[in-house]
Structures are given as C-alpha cells and as structure tokens.
Structure 1
Amino acid sequence: MGSFDELSQVFWQWLVDNKVALSDGIAFKDYRNEHAGRGVVATRNIEEGEMLFTLPRSALFSTMTAALVKKDGMADVLEGLTGWSPLILCMMYELDRPDSQWKPYFDVLPRTFSTPMFWPDLTALKGTGVLDKIGKEEADQCYDDQILPILKAHPDLFDLQVHTKDLFHICGSLIMSYSFHDEYKDEQASQQNDDASDEEEEEEEDEGLLAMVPMADMLNHKTGFNNARLFHEPEGLVMKAIKAIATGEQVYNTYGDLCNADLLRKYGFTDDNNPFDLCEIDGRDIVALATPEDQDETVKEEKLNYLMDEGVMDDCFVIDGDHEIPPEMIASVIVFASPVETFKKWEQKGKVPSPKLTLAVQEILLKILEGRLKKYDCSLQDDLDRGMTFKDENEKNAFRIRLGEKKILETTITKLRQDMPTKRSSSPLAGSVEKKQRK
C-alpha cells in the first residue's frame, strides 16, 4: 500500500486506462485535515455546464461487472439475494484481491468509518434520531442469514478467516456511503418491464442497478456548496459543473438535502448549522401521551388502525426548521384523546378531525414535545454552556445533532405556548370534521 498521493496517482491512471474522460481542470486533493479525506479540486476556472469527467458503464463496479458473477453458479446465487446483499457479497469477494480489475479504485476507499455503526460508545447520541436507525443488529442478522451460508457453501471462493462479519460491515458501509443508482438503467428497466407490477419493478431496480461509481464518489458533500452534479446519459455517467467553480475551490456533489442525523448515519460527518435539520417525534409517544389512562386497550388499537388506514398516523412525525407541528400529528392527538362515542362517529363516516389547536390539544402536544426533550441526557443550555471543545469528531458530530434537534424542539414549544388560547373551548377536543382522502 503506497502513500496517499501515490494511491491517488495510481487510481487516476486506472481511470484513464478504463476510458474515463477526465477534465484538465480538476485534480485530487488531500482534505484529511478537514476530516474529508480525498476530494476533488478545480485547478483552473471551470465554467457552468462544463464536463468534469465521463465514465463508461464498464468502469462501474456492480453485480453486472464484478468477477464473482462470472464464477460457476454464482449468478443464480446472487439473484437469490435481496437488497444490498448481492453487491456486498461481490465486494467481499473482490475488495482485497490483488488481481481485481478495480484494485486501484478499492485501494483509495476507506477501511475505517466514523459512522455510528462503528462507534465504541453511543452515549452521546442518546435521545437523537440516530440511535434507532443505525441498523447494526439487522445487518448482523443479514450476514448470519444470507451471507454466511453462501460463504460456507463455497469454500473454493471464500475463506471464513478473511470474509468475516467485519468485512461484511466494511463493504456495507462503503456501499451506503459511495454507491449510486444508475438512473438511465432504471428508466430502461422500467420500459422493459411495463407489464410487470410496480413492486417487481422496484425490486429489480433496487437489486440490479446499484453500483459503485469510481471518481464520482471522490466528490465530497457540504450543505449549501453543491457545484457539480452527476448526469446519467446513454453513453455513460457524466459529472458536470452546475455553476462556475474558481481555481482552488473544492468540487462538491450533493448527497441530498439531509439533516445532520442522516449525514452522520450514512456518511459519518455533520454540517455546522445545517438548514435541513429536523426532529422526529415517535408515533408511540403520541399514542401513549394522548390516550386517556382509563381508555380500553381495544379502543386504542381501533383508533390506531383507523388512523393508519386513513394515512394519518405514521411511525414518526417530523418537525423541521419551520417549527410547524404536522397537521397529521395534531389530528392523531385529537383522535387518541377523543371519547369513544366521538371516535365512533368519525369512524362510521370515514372522516378524520381537522387539526384544530384547542387548548386541550395544545396541552397534550406540549406534554409530547417536552417529553421528547427529556430523552436527551442534558438540556439545550447544558450543550450551549459546554463550549466548542471536543475530545474527538464523534463527540462534535453528536453535539451538532443534539443541538439542531433541541433548538427545533425548544422553538416549537415556545411558539406553541405563545399561540395557546387563554381558556378552553366548550368542547376540549372540538374541531370541524373533514373527509380525509385515502392514500
């Protein structure tokens, strides 16, 4: 394994050898001092619309191009797997093989990650929207149920001492952080399967068109700084500048309008003052805190099923930087808090209550939001008082997520208090009733 710059040079030459057209206005740059690894920099002024690089599909690493698919019987084995498992298995087989066609590419990919999947201690993330989405247990189960039996059945291809669960997690993390869906191939698949069901098409796209895209995945993301975009065209994948880029500026792709919790979970970093931050309210908390203590469990279940059928209730509700409580969340609170007789009338008419904020409803919402704040180990003020000194990047990233979520909650609570009426309406849960269209 060579130095950082040597590996970059070898990879650049590999791109040229594999017919990747590269602009003379870009180069690799070491951004490790910014915790961003390898990135791409403009070496001259680049105009809007200018091509930065073009990749033929033969350069992509996928289940269509990987070496494993060419081994006897493995195409059928891969076809029998679901989700990311086919591509993960292909990468496990090839990632560290010295004879791999993609070795210079694989050599520049990381083997260590700052995503919570690999954190030794998750305490700093307590209360955040990250913990329930890490998926470590589900990933372990996938390895045990899908991957391990294949490894054992093919000792001529796999070595259990090499192709371990740790390697499985590394490959899964690389795919989560670096892979793309080939949108042009998606369109072709859709056209070829017009007679198939939507579900079958979706499965085919998810399983067959996921690919690692060398060079495209070298571009970093920074919220608000996106200046390049990947276009999926018939002749290949083309990265173009979507605005002018000055000499010395980093070339940024976009990973989407993601909150810090999702950036950390998928990519292992966060942005300072992310405008796309949000806070999730667990649907189970709505049920628990809005339902009267003396209400029968059967009625509670009926209300839940009714709201689910009407497309109102969800696993969680999202409050973003607008600090508006979703109308579906308000309607759910009204239904769970309502007397049985009132609920039965809505149910019989196929209607849901309009999201009217009476004092009684606001009091329940306050209880829910304040309860959400209590899930953190410390208050917003505690986080603000601690200063900006962190022992490591994990602590800093967890701090940014907590801060973003708590600010949204605190502001939403303040706004809700300001809007509260001074007295109750004659019916605490009164509200006009409207027809809710089924989804």
Structure 2
Amino acid sequence: MTSTIDPSKVISWLRQPHNKAFWHTDLQVRHTQHGVGVFASRRIEPGTVLLSVPKTSILSAHNSCIANLLCDAQIYGMHALVIAFLYEKNVGAASPWSDYIESINFAGAMLPPCMWDAEAKSLLAGTEADLMGVLDSTELVAHYELARRFATQHAPMISAPAELADLSQFAAVVLAVASRAFEIDHFHLSGLVPGADLFNHHPDGHGSVHFEALAEVCPDCGKLDCGHGSDDSDDQFDESDDSEDSEDSQATHEVADAQEKDNDENSELCDIVSHTSLVPDTEIFNTYGPLSNAELLARYAFCVDDNPHDTVCLGKQVSAHRKRVNPAISRRLRWWSRQSEQPWLLECYVDANGTPSPQLCCVAKLFTAPGKTLSRSRLSRLTPSARRLIQHWCAQRKLPDVPITIQDATTAAHIRCIRDNENRILDKCIAKLNY
C-alpha cells in the first residue's frame, strides 16, 4: 500500500514468535514509484504459501481490547473494525499490533473522495463516481457520530482516541482501515492482516497471488466444528458405549479428534498464496477484484488508466429522452419495464471496450423501431436509427474538456484518470457504432 511508510515494522511484527506468522524468505519489500511493493528474490512456483497469519493474530473487532464493549453495543462489520483500530492505536505500545500500526502513514494521509473540497467534487459531477454516491459524506458522518457516541459512553473506563475530535482525522483512519481490510470469515467478518496489505493491486485486476481464508466457520466462536446449535445428542448416555468394542471405539474417536484438530488448524489461518509462477525482481500483485475506477476510488483511494472493469451508464440520458417521446413509445417502455427483472436504467451502459450493453441496445431499439408490435427477438439487432440514438446519448454523456487546477497532485491525477477513461469509452462506442 502507498500509505505504508515503514514496511520493516510489518516484517518485524511477522517475525515475532508469539504472533505465529509466516513470511516467505524469498520475498522482499522494496520502495517503488507508487510507495512500496513486494518482489520475489528468486522464482517461486504456483501454489506456494507466501504469507500466513493465524486468525488469532489478525486485528479484528473480536480480537481487539474493546471486543466485549463493541459486542455489548451491537456494533459490527467495518464500523466495529474502525473503532477497534482507533482504540488499539490509542494504547500505543500496549497493543499487540503496535509495530504494524506504526507502519501506516497518517501524516498527510489521503482523505476519501466524500471529504474532498467543493472544487474537486465538482470536477467529478456526472461521472460514475458521482452516480454511485462516492462523493456523498452521509454514511461517513453517521459512522463518525456512532464512534463518538461509543467513546462518550465508555470514557470513564477507557480514554477516547484523539481522532474522534475531528472528522477529517477520523475519515483518514476510515480510509486507511477500509483500504487494508480483508473479508475473513463469518466470525471475524472484516479484519486487518499484517503483511497481506503490502501486496499492491494489479492495474488490470489480474494479480499473481490471492488471499485465502476459510469463511464457513461458526459465527459465534469462529471454530469449524464446535457443536454450537447441535441437539446435544452427544451428552446422552448410551449403554452401548460400554461394549466389547470399547477399544476400537476409542481408537476411532482418537482418529476423529485428530482430524477435527487438523480441520480447526486449517480454518484458523489467513494466507497469501501464489497462483502463477513468480518471476525474480518482478513485483508481485494481488487483485482486489473486478472493480471499476469509481469502486477503487471509494474503497482504496486510487484508480487506474484504461480500467477493463469500467462502465459508463447512460441511464440519465435515456430517462431524459423518455420524457420527450410520444405515448406509443411510452407504452413500449412500460412494457419493457415489466419484462426486466433488474432496474433497467442502471443496465443501460457502455463497457470498457465501447460495446453497448444488451439492455441499452434493446432500449434504443424500443425508441426507434417502427410498427406497433415488438418482441424480444426483434430487439436483438441494432438498426441504423438505434445506433445513431446511442451515439447521441454518448455525446450527451461526454464530459467537457476542462482544466484540472486542483493543487493536490494525487487528487488531480485521480480526477483526470476518471474523466479521461469515461470519455475514451464513450468515444470507442461512437466509433464502433459507425460500422
């Protein structure tokens, strides 16, 4: 992660015996133009475990010093993880994760887009980030107020973290935690796994390693086979237990107990595993999933050029056009709405290759097809008039070429990336529909 300023502290934490973690000896953490990254010092084969951290050592709400308080307050998920992190950070060296926490750069840390100033937000107006609510601070403010109420309620027994005195400081912590968190299992939910967040996201979303953790564990205790929710039949006395086969039965139970122990041990690890061959002196990338730039910006505060998972929605343009059509076309659209299982305006988009979605093609055909009777089969092929209509919507959706004068270079780069990517996609679609 670019906000890691001292990766040596993370490696030091991983090597502390009581954390029972594993860091492959052929891995090196180096500084890059984007911060830090993980490299292989020699060739590593697919299926190799590069990092392993027991679930008992991850920083999660359940493992934190305020676990019982969060449980009593019925605060769960990312809200609980952020609050737990704040209190662990607040106790300093007393926290089991102090070295890991100290490796994170909070001085001048980036703020989530919802905390950007009005000028920066205005430059993303009408983009996918705007349409997805990435610029809306409502949820962040609600999270902040929840954390403050929690701190006020428990102030007599534990001091409140300093970051709760200022929304901007709190927002920086939220972004740092959310951008590093992994989905662990049904018990821990989200958690921070020291070392796992050193692996950067590959620009095209195709990483060479992946995160593994068994999610299907008991939500009450985190074990794989714990007996919670059973019918307690094992507690009933059975005279057959005192049979001549008692020795065989005991041996069978011993084998079963050993298998159960192995299963529990395997279920209690978080691993980073290679799924391709790793080449020496080449950065090793994880993938955060097939996320668009708007999603990457919201969750991780970065975006990538030519993101293959970007789409540009034309639902707003379709909706505006709908208001100007005659009653016959309106009846067609009402019919189409009844045929669609999903909100069809959201499905009217252009993908990263400039290809209009099937829903967008059908809607354009509904607006332009002659005659009174239509069927799904007649909507599958674009007519010249439908092509021109989609091109018209693309031209309407394009963002104007304006100067980006934001002083913060990183914010300006993100804004430019999103605007340019969306315009390129629309230009591809316009050009593709000319043929």
Question: TM-score interval w.r.t. the shorter chain?
Answer: 0.7 to 0.9
Confirm or deny: 8 A CA contact 1:180 1:213 kept in the other structure.
yes
Of 363, 366, 371, the match for 1:332:
363
Correspondences of 1:407-426 after superposition (within 5 Å): 407-418=424-435
Of 49, 52, 72, the match for 1:51:
49
d(CA) in 2 for partners of 1:91, 1:323: 42
Partner in structure 1 of residue 395 of structure 2: 370
Of 283, 290, 294, the match for 2:322:
290
Q: Deviations over 1:215-242 (max 9, x none)?
A: 1111112225622222225241222222
d(CA) in 2 for partners of 1:24, 1:83: 34
2:175 alignment partner, SS class: helix
Of 277, 280, 305, the match for 1:247:
280
d(CA) in 2 for partners of 1:264, 1:144: 20
Partner in structure 2 of residue 358 of structure 1: 383
Aligned partner letter, 1:361: A
Aligned partner letter, 1:285: Q
Confirm or deny: 8 A CA contact 1:93 1:163 kept in the other structure.
no
d(CA) in 2 for partners of 1:342, 1:211: 57
Partner in structure 2 of residue 125 of structure 1: 124
Shift of 1:82: 5.6
Partner in structure 1 of residue 290 of structure 2: 257
Aligned partner letter, 1:279: T
Correspondences of 1:190-229 after superposition (within 5 Å): 208-224=188-204, 226-229=207-210
Partner in structure 2 of residue 75 of structure 1: 71
Structure 1 residue 406 corresponds to structure 2 residue 423: yes
After superposition, the Cα gap between the structure-2 partners of 1:415 and 1:13, relative to the gap in structure 1 and judged at 3 Å, is closer
Structure 1 residue 168 corresponds to structure 2 residue 170: yes
Q: Deviations over 1:315-350 (max 9, x none)?
A: 3533223322111123334456789x959x98xxxx
Shift of 1:415: 1.9
Aligned partner letter, 1:14: W
Confirm or deny: 8 A CA contact 2:391 2:429 kept in the other structure.
no
After superposition, the Cα gap between the structure-2 partners of 1:396 and 1:9, relative to the gap in structure 1 and judged at 3 Å, is closer
Partner in structure 1 of residue 251 of structure 2: none
2:128 alignment partner, SS class: coil
Shift of 1:83: 4.9
d(CA) in 2 for partners of 1:146, 1:307: 42
1:251 alignment partner, SS class: strand
- Report the identity percentage: 20
Unaligned runs of 5+ in 1: 190-207, 384-389, 419-439
Partner in structure 2 of residue 10 of structure 1: 9
Confirm or deny: 8 A CA contact 1:116 1:134 kept in the other structure.
yes
After superposition, the Cα gap between the structure-2 partners of 1:234 and 1:144, relative to the gap in structure 1 and judged at 3 Å, is closer
Query: Which structure's CA Rg is the greater one?
Result: 2
After superposition, the Cα gap between the structure-2 partners of 1:139 and 1:264, relative to the gap in structure 1 and judged at 3 Å, is same
Aligned partner letter, 2:140: D
d(CA) in 2 for partners of 1:266, 1:52: 25
Aligned partner letter, 1:280: V
d(CA) in 2 for partners of 1:82, 1:334: 47
Q: Deviations over 1:340-368 (max 9, x none)?
A: x959x98xxxx797344234433332221
Q: Deviations over 1:80-104 (max 9, x none)?
A: x365222222222223321222111
d(CA) in 2 for partners of 1:297, 1:153: 59
Aligned partner letter, 1:365: I
Q: Normalising to structure 2: TM-score of the pair?
A: 0.72
d(CA) in 1 for partners of 2:183, 2:140: 24
d(CA) in 1 for partners of 2:145, 2:412: 34
1:311 alignment partner, SS class: coil
Root-mean-square deviation over aligned CA pairs: 3.5
Confirm or deny: 8 A CA contact 2:182 2:191 kept in the other structure.
yes
1:45 alignment partner, SS class: coil
Correspondences of 1:313-328 after superposition (within 5 Å): 313-328=344-359
Partner in structure 2 of residue 159 of structure 1: 160
d(CA) in 2 for partners of 1:27, 1:68: 34
Confirm or deny: 8 A CA contact 1:115 1:269 kept in the other structure.
no
1:357 alignment partner, SS class: coil
After superposition, the Cα gap between the structure-2 partners of 1:150 and 1:334, relative to the gap in structure 1 and judged at 3 Å, is farther
2:83 alignment partner, SS class: helix
Shift of 1:56: 0.7
Structure 1 residue 93 corresponds to structure 2 residue 87: yes
Q: Deviations over 1:391-417 (max 9, x none)?
A: 823323332322222121112112223
d(CA) in 2 for partners of 1:333, 1:125: 27
Partner in structure 2 of residue 139 of structure 1: 139
Partner in structure 2 of residue 396 of structure 1: 413
Partner in structure 2 of residue 271 of structure 1: 304
Confirm or deny: 8 A CA contact 1:114 1:394 kept in the other structure.
no
